[in-house]
Structures are given as C-alpha cells and as structure tokens.
Homo-oligomer: A and B are copies of this chain.
Amino acid sequence: MTDIAMIEAARVRLDGHVRRTPLLSSPFLDDIAGRRIFVKPECLQHTGSFKFRGAWSAISALSPDVRAKGVIAFSSGNHAQGVALAARMHGIPSVIIMPSDAPRIKIENTRAYGADVVLYDRLNEDRDVIGARLSQERGLTLIKPFDEPLVIAGQGTTGLEIAEQAREEGIEKADVLVPTGGGGFISGVALALNAKAPGFLVHPCEPQGFDDVTRSLASGKIERNATQGGSLCDAIVTPQPGNITFPIMSKLCGAGLVVTDDEALHAVALAFSRLKIVVEPGGAVALAAALFHGETLGETVIAVCSGGNIDPDIFRLALDRFGA
C-alpha cells in the first residue's frame, strides 16, 4: 500500500531523471474564475504527461536482474509512452501491446521512444493472452497503468512538488484539482498532500458521461461508466476506479467535479492563449473545472494539467471554437 514514505523513496529514484514542472498562473485566468488559479503543467513532463513519473518509479524499483529482462505494458496512450521512454533511459527493453487500430502517431511515437510495439486485433484477439505469453517467454515485468502501489508512488511526487511550490507562493489553503481516470495520479497526489500540505483538499475532475469516480465517491462504492468511448477526453476515460485507488480516494478526496467536452476544449484554448502550454482535453478537465465550476471551491485553486498529447485536429477545433 502506497504511503508517504514510498512517495519520498520514489522521489529519490526519480531525482535527476524526471522534470520538475513549474507552477504557472495568469491574471486573465484569475479574472475568469473569480479566484486565484495556479496550474501545474505535467504536459511539460517527459513524454508529455505525468505517466513518465509512475513508469520510472516502477521500473527503477525492480531488482537489477529482473529489470534487465525488460517490461511490458498495455496501453494505446500516455502510459505507453511513459513506460517506453523510462525503459529506454534504463537501458532495458520494453514491449507495449497496442490495438492495431490505435492512432498511427501514437504507435509511431511509442516505437520512436524505443519500445517493441506488438499490435493485436481488438475484435479477434485477447490482449491478456498475448501479454501473458510474451511475459512468460521473455521474463518481462508488467507495469500496470494505475492500480499499482509503485506507480501511485511515482505519480505522488507531483504532489510533493505542489506542496513545496505552493509554500513558496505563500499558499496555506487550496483546492487541488486533478484530471482522473483510474485514479492512480490523484491517489498519489492526495497521499503526498495529506502528509505535506494538510490545508489542501484534492478533488477528482472528469468529463460528463465518464464520471465514474465522482459517482463512486458520492455513493461510497465502485460505480462503472455506461459507455467506454465517445469522449474527447479519451486520455482519462476508464471503466471504473481501481481496487487499490478507490479506497485511497474515498479516504482523502473531496467531491468530484464534472465538465463538458466543450468546457475542456475552452480550457485547452485558454491554456494556449494565457499560459502558452499545450494541453489535451482530458488533461484540461481540472483547469476547466477551476475556470467554470469554481462555485464550491475556495479562494485558491491549483489545477493540474496532466497531459499534452493532443491531435492537431482537436487542437484546431479548440482554437476554432474558443480561440481569440
């Protein structure tokens, strides 16, 4: 079970390899929200998302002989790229299993980061069977995307940075908003802030129609999403909270916030014009919640922008609808 000691140990392993992202702000965003907004841009992290932290944490914790055999992950998105680059920087092989209909650019990027990409047919093949066979044949270690204590510990290093950076800004009390899929990122951040910044309350943020965590926190039990596809915020759409992450979120998080796809796109456009960062819609839901649903929040909000791997066409759409 992840605790603050594990997060601090992960930080030691990540030191010098992970990027310490800054804390950004703009008076224009404060004016829109009617409160002080700070943004933690994990889109500036290696591979364009926080996922690199968890991947590095898990890979660096393996014993050298186990690690040398390599790692395997299932992902068509940010986790794939995080694992691929963290493996390459460790000088070990990685296998990423991706659906053959994943966007070409994501497959190419994952390969370019050094991974052996294995494609499978979503309709006729079982990725778990393929993964189990490859793991056994090559002795690969599976790196899970969120329901894994070492991954949660790595994501939690973001929370340690937030606590320090907020202290430098003189912030003692804040609502911290985190884009949430399976809950690995927010669990790590909440554990870190619970230990280091007790005046901070962490809230999950999700897109409308895929608000499984918000509903689960409200009902007290794990709830599923009705559908799996159709959100622009694909990076954070998962079927339901994790078995490890849900108890952590239940214990430490405040109520969830839900935004529309259009609000997420509006936040993408404002991050472009006011912060000069590139954020994907799923990575922008926390900023959208801070800007457009702040009525239940306090005077200071820290919104994490979790990733920036956006398709140029979607970015154009955000500029077309909400660009100046």
Which residues on A are within 8 Å of B, measured CB to CB?
16, 19-22, 24, 27-28, 31, 41, 43-44, 48, 85, 105, 112-113, 168, 272-273, 275-279, 308, 312, 315-316, 319, 323-324
Contact = CB atoms under 8 A, between A and B. Distances in A.
Contact of A315 (B44, B168, B275, B319): B319
Contacts of A316: 316, 319
The residue in A85, A272, A312 that gathers the most chain B C-beta atoms within 10 A of its C-beta is A312
Contacts of A28: 112
The 3 closest A-B pairs by CB, nearest first: A276-B308, A312-B323, A276-B278
Contacts of A31: 112
Contact of A22 (B21, B43, B273): B21
Nearest to A42: B276
A61 to B, nearest CB: 23
Contacts of A19: 22, 24
Contact of A277 (B278, B315, B319): B278
A275 B44 contact: yes
19 contacts: A16-B168, A19-B22, A20-B22, A21-B22, A22-B22, A24-B44, A27-B85, A41-B276, A43-B276, A44-B277, A105-B324, A272-B278, A272-B312, A272-B315, A276-B277, A276-B308, A277-B277, A312-B324, A316-B316
A243 to B, nearest CB: 32
Contacts of A24: 19, 44
B319 A312 contact: yes
Contacts of A21: 22
B44 A273 contact: no
Contacts of A323: 312
Nearest to A324: B105
A87 to B, nearest CB: 13
Given A105-B324, A316-B316, A319-B315, A27 B113 contact: yes
Contacts of A105: 324
A321 B69 CA distance: 42
A323 B314 CA distance: 12
A171 to B, nearest CB: 13
Contacts of A308: 276
A196 B118 CA distance: 48
Nearest to A108: B324
Nearest to A312: B323
Contacts of A20: 22
Contacts of A275: 44
Contacts of A43: 276
A113 B31 CA distance: 11
Name, among A21, A28, A31, A278, the residue most crowded by chain B CB atoms within 10 Å (CB to CB).
Answer: A278
Contacts of A276: 41, 43-44, 48, 277-279, 308
A308 B324 CA distance: 14
Nearest to A168: B16
Contacts of A312: 272-273, 319, 323-324
From A20, A24, A31, A105, residue with most partner B Cβ within 10 Å:
A24
